[in-house]
Structure 1
Amino acid sequence: MKKTFYLFLFFSFIFCQFLSAQPELFRNNFNEYKDFGLSKRQIQELKKEGELIIFNRDKHTTRFAKKLFNKKVGRTVKEKRRTGKEEYEVIARKKILHYRINYIFFDGDKNSYKSIEKSRQRMLNLLEKDYNFESIARQYSMDQNRYKGGDSGWFKIESVNEDFKNAITNTMRYADEVFRVDLPEQNWYYLIKKSYSPQKIEEILVIKRKN
């Protein structure tokens, strides 16, 4: 019984180590308020009044978020919380270009480039035989996005590494094309599927004040 328990712990640890390889691909530092046309000084002044929050129409679909999207700039929504009353004011709104892809991630810290390239070529061969990219991603991608078939969800292009950005915005790429992207400085390697065309998604900038 003890032996079985320790084996379970061991494989759980290995599995967690495998999933912890998820890179900070979509967390590149950038000024997320610039799309709303506000200066740094304006942003600083607003932050003195309360907390700034960006709502995305695709990602935020709660009843409360929908209520905010129905408000014009300058209008407010008041809410009662456990911590007291809160007021949310819509400061700005804009439709902002977003990108979306499917990807398979290979961790260069865990596998040699030679091994990664061999795996990528094998997967490209499978895709030529009409295997499903999302199914391959679920089986082989080395981050937690594997459970979504490697679907990145909609993201702003500024949120990713410059080399990655240049690769996925290349206008020579055609719809559903699968291609390699290497980020050797981070030791991150990818197969990318151009699954979606860029799309403008409405976002609103909201300030939350406590009363």
Structure 2
Amino acid sequence: MKLFLSALCLGFSLTAFAQNVTKELKDIETEEQAEAYVDGKKKKHYQIMRFNEENHQSKLAQDLLSGGQGTTTSTRTQFEKTYFKVVGKTNDPHYRLSYIYLDGKKHSMKEIDLIRKKVLLKHDSQLETFANLAKKYSDAKNAFKGGDTNWVKITDLPTTLADLDEILGHKVDDIYMVSNKETNQFYIVKKTHVIRRIKEVKVLKVVEQL
């Protein structure tokens, strides 16, 4: 009997939580409201995500991208139900580069200059692809992806690389150097794509434990 009552109470509790989430999501319409809603909550269960039409090809992403502001959907597994609501939608310019990051705190300038020369020589002579060279030399987290940034807004690039004039000043396949000696950040950059406008949505995600 106690087990039955406990299960019953748990069922009522989960139903109430689901109803609360549905009501709360209904009242959230803007990015600012969504940010205020997740502030201070566990990121594992409450977060704001971004999906764009180039980097995200799942059915969920496509459904969210094709819907308008306020589009809401959910997914369910044995253990949780996840709610998604579109709180922002843009069609802004996106950029795609590949880069090798050299940390001046790990390498001397002599070592950095030597790596630069090796990269240019091997790439220009087609001995190795830029992606392989990035995997070999880059100190960045995206080294395992060959230094590829994927499609991102300029504000999502490393600060030292987020120079629109610099990017526009180069053609696709150009390789150029960017340095910030004050922060000990040194980059070998390859422009891999022309600028493209890409649809992107900001999505409020809430996870309900079942």
Whether 2:33 is the aligned partner of 1:45: answer yes
Per-residue CA distance 1:3-45 (angstroms, 9 max, x = gap):
xxxxxxxxxxxxxxxxxxxxxxxxxxxxxxxxxxxxxxx5443
Aligned to 1:140: 137
Displacement of 1:112 in angstroms is: 0.6
CA contact (8 A) 1:55 1:203 kept: yes
RMSD of equivalent CA atoms:
2.8
CA contact (8 A) 2:31 2:87 kept: no
* Alignment-mate amino acid for residue 159 of structure 1: D
SS in 1 for 2:163: helix
Structure 2: how far apart are the matches of 1:47 and 1:87? Answer: 16
**TM-score for the superposition, normalised by structure 2:** 0.66
Q: Matches of residues 70-109 of structure 1 in structure 2 within 5 Å?
A: 70-80=66-76, 87-109=83-105
**TM-score for the superposition, normalised by structure 1:** 0.66
CA contact (8 A) 2:154 2:162 kept: yes
Structure 1 alignment gaps of length 5 or more: 1-41
Q: Matches of residues 1-211 of structure 1 in structure 2 within 5 Å?
A: 43-48=31-36, 52-80=48-76, 87-131=83-127, 132-166=129-163, 169-208=166-205
Q: Count the aligned residue pairs.
A: 170
Per-residue CA distance 1:37-70 (angstroms, 9 max, x = gap):
xxxxx54434455684332223333332222223
Displacement of 1:179 in angstroms is: 1.0
Displacement of 1:87 in angstroms is: 4.2
Aligned to 1:26: none
Structure 2 alignment gaps of length 5 or more: 1-29, 40-47
Structure 1: how far apart are the matches of 2:165 and 2:188? Answer: 11
Identity of aligned residues (%): 26
Displacement of 1:159 in angstroms is: 2.3
SS in 2 for 1:91: strand
